[in-house]
Structure 1
Amino acid sequence: MPAHIAGSLHAAPSPVWLPYPDDVNALMPSLWSANVTKGDDGVLRIAGHPVTALAEQYGTPMYVLDVADFRARAAEFARAFSTAFERVGPGARGYYAGKAFLCTAAAGWIAEADLGLDCCSLGELMIARRAGFDPALVGLHGNNKSDAEIAFALDWGIGRIVIDSFDEIPRVAAAAADRGTTARVMLRVTVGVEAHTHDFIATAHEDQKFGLSLQGGDAAAAAAQIIDAPSLELIGLHSHIGSQIFDKAGFEVAAGRIIGLRAEIERTHGVSLPEVDLGGGFGIQYTSQDTPTPFGEIAEQLADVVGKACAEHGSEVPFVSFEPGRAIAGPAMFTLYRVGTVKPVDTGSGVRCYVSVDGGMSDNIRTALYDADYSCTLANRTSPEDPVVVRVVGKHCESGDIIVRDEYLPADIAAGDLVAVPGTGAYCRPLASNYNHVPRPGVLAVDGEDVRWAIRPESYQDMFATDPGFAPVHENGE
């Protein structure tokens, strides 16, 4: 591209959606987990533990997980959807999307909430088995499953494998036949619904890698092949329309289309498909502009949607499954950083204040990848100063290394301060990298008085272990 003179695109005024705070030291409770508070001293606390003490003992950056909040959200989702769908049919179950955030401890909490677990890789399956998860409540997803993943799933006896392409049908069938077993499978259908979300996380329009097209007839043809395979049992159809969705309209259209295809397959082949999976994508509140729907309300809405669609097609209401991930993990965690530098920059049309912290796109790439918006707060003290718009950035060698694009912090924000970013429980640790050879932060799980690592911080020894040129190194890198 030709060079250009920086102009209004790089100006510094606050965005129109960002409200001027009445009190820059106060929290917006809806952005934070249930057990996070801020006292008159301005210190952020989780379950009564001041983050100043946590930072001193455990270091920064780190993800801080509110265990009670995570477990409560999982239980609430399970209860709300089961209750709502028992009103119209045989019920519903959530399958927690492990890609959002997964470790052995989290898998245990999900199992306790009576949710299933949706896995997308051999690593996620291994975590689930190590955690003692019931394999009957585990599913394997993915558009390019390896032979090792299919073998692991069948040998463990998981409850469902989601078929994503014609190529997978004979592979899964042959692997099941070799083991003398029948694989329970679902068929992922591309229903042609474009959710109102970022293009990279909208997954049900035609031009993308997931599923088999409803409109083009591929889904019906794939269903016929599965039904004809003796070692496969088609238990239902699967749809997923995207992520960070606030509008039920997409689910309504998707449910109508998937229920219609189900009715067509049942009539044509004389089979019963007892289950439909409508995926996940339920949005959470990252900033004051997000308006998520409570679990109970959205469950009732979607139960009505499915009941209506089945009535229109003259079919029985199926057991319905959903795949919450972000909606459970996202609000339950925040990331704690320490400020290193503060740099006011005159853009020519205003001054932008860059606040650099000791993490960045290696622990939260969502802002760079998805144009995601986050909020933040000064976490170690109160300030009498007026609010100023800041941009919280990381330490990496990229101009796009932005964590919080625009937020108000006190004008005296300075090196050594702690800044906390809420809503980082989903897709931050799983997408974390070693960019610039920076170790990935740990996940500190706080559960009342109990404080321990759910995932310990990565050491330099961990990071360099795959490089044959490195002998074991000390923590200081020597």
Structure 2
Amino acid sequence: MLLGTQKINAQGHLEIGGCDTLALAAEFGTPLYVMDEALVRENCRRFTQVFTDRYPGEVEVSFAGKAFLTMAMVRLVQQEGLALDVASGGELYTALKAGFPAEKILYHGNFKSDEELAMGVAAGVGRFVVDNPYELKRLSELAAAQGKTQAILLRVTPGIDPHTHAKISTGQEDSKFGISVSSGLALATVQEALSLPGIDFKGIHCHIGSQLLDSHTHEDAAEIMVGFVAAIREATGFVCTDLDIGGGLGVRYLPSHNPPSYEEFADSVVSAVVGALEKHALPFPRLMLEPGRALVAEAGTTLYTVGPIKKIELAERTKTFVSVDGGLSDNPRPVMYDARYSVLVAGRAAQATDTTVTVSGKHCETDLLFPELALGEVHSGDILAVQTTGAYNHGMASNYNRFRRPAVVFVHDGQADVVWERESYDDLLRQERLPQRFLEE
């Protein structure tokens, strides 16, 4: 399963963006996150274009920064003309330091502190996506205190089970995110937003879940959301100008995964939205979408070096453990979500995958990265290339066991640029302080 600019070169090595992955591992070390810049740019353009071509009104595509956020990625998003979602003060700070225009930022999160709310208002973010009535009141007070009026969307829960992993389902009634439509609380909160000082209510937002491999739940959500827009108009006379249906489109982690293409996804979503708008005789609002994983996941590859290989003789078979120089700290998703990946031996990328092994990390945990993996011939010193790691791997990386977080390189036309330096051992101690009494003999 070769993705983006990946290919097998004349030496039989996996190549990405014109760069030999064995050469990348030798130059930058492992573990190493490799991002296919050309594929990210192509995805940004295609996703925007397919919706712009199909929807009669205005379209705004925002990159969901939580999937992968560095200053280089922020600049890429800006160059490609997308808006940007942030979900914390740190993500907002990163975007602003990279020079991203604040008016094209959407600020998410179910608990934004007063400091974060005030920071966003002062920066002039384009939209706050308000999650709850408490936040709405605090934002009103803080915006008014700065003498500003803040545009918002209200996040609502359409009450849909997206049938994905429980830990990435967010649109059902018992989600921690958003305000229930069916209970009537969402409408009451809209009415409050329309009356509060410092608040400019623009419309509604939902996000139903992640890694969705069909578009059916997005179609259902679109109908419910447009129905709620109609209910708002009936109850208040206000017509929403913004309708945000979030993200969630899945990607190919395994060859068996078959998510809709961008074109198929746009056909389904736009058809559902337009049909519902016409049913309720509503004007076309700005249609907003928030892809994250769908833009960057398949553009990312993680390189590991193979260390010890251990064979355990069991009664019925031999089990082979292949240890690599990373694990839980650079990819927690197998532990968190039972995530599965496609893996290649980078130096023999076309070899038959006729041997089953279990790839384990080097942490003091049972961090089985890839159990029962059909990998083929593998030796100590080989480089493993794990595909579709461009979303959430870097963002969720940690210093568990005092591991140093890996470097990130963007590859493009045979050039590799470090956009996130590998942490040093000194970096691990940078925040440490020893009280004076610990220094006394």
Aligned residue for 1:195? 162
CA distance in structure 1 between the partners assigned to 2:284 and 2:350 by the alignment? 57
Aligned residue for 1:438? 403
CA distance in structure 1 between the partners assigned to 2:313 and 2:191 by the alignment? 64
Aligned residue for 1:68? 38
CA distance in structure 2 between the partners assigned to 1:384 and 1:218 by the alignment? 57
Deviation at 1:80, TM superposition (A): 1.3
Aligned residue for 2:205? 238
The superposition leaves residues 68-114 of structure 1 with CA deviations (integer Å, 9 ceiling, x where unpaired) of: 1111111111111121113xxx1211110000001111111111221
Deviation at 1:206, TM superposition (A): 1.4
Aligned residue for 1:259? 226
CA distance in structure 2 between the partners assigned to 1:257 and 1:128 by the alignment? 33
- What are the equivalent positions in structure 2 for 1:210-249 lying under 5 Å apart? 210-249=177-216
CA distance in structure 2 between the partners assigned to 1:383 and 1:357 by the alignment? 21
Distance 1:260 1:101, change over 3 A: same
The superposition leaves residues 264-289 of structure 1 with CA deviations (integer Å, 9 ceiling, x where unpaired) of: 11121121211110000110000011
Distance 1:385 1:273, change over 3 A: closer
Deviation at 1:302, TM superposition (A): 0.8
CA distance in structure 1 between the partners assigned to 2:108 and 2:151 by the alignment? 13
**Are the counterparts in 2 of residues 81 and 93 from structure 1 also a CA contact under 8 Å?**
no
The superposition leaves residues 435-457 of structure 1 with CA deviations (integer Å, 9 ceiling, x where unpaired) of: 11101101011122432111111
SS of 1:468 mapped into structure 2: coil
Aligned residue for 1:342? 309
Deviation at 1:403, TM superposition (A): 2.0
**Are the counterparts in 2 of residues 94 and 324 from structure 1 also a CA contact under 8 Å?**
yes
The superposition leaves residues 390-447 of structure 1 with CA deviations (integer Å, 9 ceiling, x where unpaired) of: 1211101111x12223322223x11101100010000000000111110110101112
How many residue pairs get aligned? The number is 435
Deviation at 1:173, TM superposition (A): 0.2
Aligned residue for 2:422? 457
Please, which of 163, 175, 184 is the counterpart of residue 142 of structure 2? 175
Aligned residue for 1:23? none
Aligned residue for 2:28? 58
CA distance in structure 1 between the partners assigned to 2:198 and 2:9 by the alignment? 61
More helix per residue: 2
CA distance in structure 1 between the partners assigned to 2:418 and 2:395 by the alignment? 16
Say yes or no: does 1:99 pair with 2:66: yes
CA distance in structure 2 between the partners assigned to 1:386 and 1:265 by the alignment? 56
Query: RMSD across aligned C-alpha pairs, in angstroms?
Result: 1.5
CA distance in structure 1 between the partners assigned to 2:46 and 2:247 by the alignment? 15
Q: 1:50 is matched by which residue type in structure 2?
A: D
Distance 1:382 1:302, change over 3 A: closer
Distance 1:468 1:265, change over 3 A: same
Aligned residue for 2:330? 363
Aligned residue for 1:468? 433
Say yes or no: does 1:307 pair with 2:286: no
Deviation at 1:261, TM superposition (A): 1.1
Identity %: 37
Q: 2:422 is matched by which residue type in structure 1?
A: P
Distance 1:385 1:229, change over 3 A: closer
Could you tell me which runs of 5 or more consecutive residues in structure 2 were left unpaired when the two chains were aligned.
Answer: 436-441
- What are the equivalent positions in structure 2 for 1:288-303 lying under 5 Å apart? 288-303=255-270
Aligned residue for 1:20? none
CA distance in structure 2 between the partners assigned to 1:384 and 1:337 by the alignment? 18
Q: 1:173 is matched by which residue type in structure 2?
A: S
CA distance in structure 1 between the partners assigned to 2:351 and 2:38 by the alignment? 33
The superposition leaves residues 18-68 of structure 1 with CA deviations (integer Å, 9 ceiling, x where unpaired) of: xxxxxxxxxx22xx2x22111353211122221222111111111011111
Aligned residue for 1:5? none
SS of 1:186 mapped into structure 2: strand
SS of 2:283 mapped into structure 1: coil
**Are the counterparts in 1 of residues 8 and 350 from structure 2 also a CA contact under 8 Å?**
no
Say yes or no: does 1:280 pair with 2:247: yes
Q: 1:435 is matched by which residue type in structure 2?
A: Y
**Are the counterparts in 2 of residues 104 and 127 from structure 1 also a CA contact under 8 Å?**
yes
SS of 1:279 mapped into structure 2: coil
**Are the counterparts in 2 of residues 99 and 120 from structure 1 also a CA contact under 8 Å?**
yes
Distance 1:383 1:242, change over 3 A: closer
Distance 1:384 1:165, change over 3 A: closer
Aligned residue for 2:379? 414
Q: 2:423 is matched by which residue type in structure 1?
A: E
Deviation at 1:385, TM superposition (A): 7.4
**Are the counterparts in 2 of residues 78 and 114 from structure 1 also a CA contact under 8 Å?**
no
Deviation at 1:310, TM superposition (A): 1.3
Distance 1:258 1:383, change over 3 A: closer
Please, which of 426, 438, 445 is the counterpart of residue 391 of structure 2? 426
Could you tell me which runs of 5 or more consecutive residues in structure 1 were left unpaired when the two chains were aligned.
Answer: 1-27, 471-478
Distance 1:468 1:84, change over 3 A: same
CA distance in structure 2 between the partners assigned to 1:42 and 1:194 by the alignment? 44
Q: 1:430 is matched by which residue type in structure 2?
A: G
CA distance in structure 2 between the partners assigned to 1:106 and 1:296 by the alignment? 24
TM normalised by structure 2 equals 0.95
Aligned residue for 2:355? 388
Deviation at 1:120, TM superposition (A): 0.1
**Are the counterparts in 1 of residues 215 and 260 from structure 2 also a CA contact under 8 Å?**
no
SS of 1:126 mapped into structure 2: helix
CA distance in structure 2 between the partners assigned to 1:459 and 1:299 by the alignment? 44
The superposition leaves residues 133-169 of structure 1 with CA deviations (integer Å, 9 ceiling, x where unpaired) of: 1211101000000112111111111110011011111
**Are the counterparts in 2 of residues 101 and 329 from structure 1 also a CA contact under 8 Å?**
yes
CA distance in structure 1 between the partners assigned to 2:290 and 2:131 by the alignment? 16
Distance 1:270 1:384, change over 3 A: closer
SS of 1:93 mapped into structure 2: strand
